């Protein structure tokens, strides 16, 4: 007969497995957090960013084309 552990033991096992998986995840070179998303972004060769940092950087790079044209770009 197969015996299922009590809830606390199952919780501890699950948490231990999550910690092992997290330890294997790469770290974002910008914010230092573990990248747990499906994708990371290589901004420069060898530099890996999480999606939040990449999106924030992309927003900072955004330019208003109409404003640029008015300034004589």
Task: With a cut of 80, say whether residue 4 has pLDDT above it.
Answer: no
Cβ-contact 22, 34 below 8 angstroms:
yes
Radius of gyration of the chain (CA): 22
* Residue length of the chain: 73
Task: With a cut of 70, say whether residue 2 has pLDDT above it.
Answer: no
Instruction: Determine the pLDDT at residue 59.
Output: 94
Q: What is the pTM of this model?
A: 0.69
DSSP string, 16-70: HHHHHHHHHS-B-TTT--B--SS--EEEETTEEE-HHHHHHHHHHH---HHHHHH
Residue 60 CA, chain-centre distance (Å), reads 18
Mean pLDDT for 45-71 is 91
- pLDDT digit string, tens, across residues 10-43: 899 899 999 999 999 999 999 999 999 999 999 8
């Amino acid at each position: 007969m197969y015996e299922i552990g009590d809830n606390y033991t199952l919780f501890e096992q699950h948490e231990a497995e999550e910690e092992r998986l997290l330890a294997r995840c790469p770290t974002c070179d910008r914010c230092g957090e573990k990248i747990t998303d499906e994708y990371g972004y290589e901004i420069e060769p060898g530099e890996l960013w999480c999606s939040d940092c990449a999106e924030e950087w992309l927003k900072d790079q955004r330019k208003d084309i109409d404003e640029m044209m008015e300034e004589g770009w």
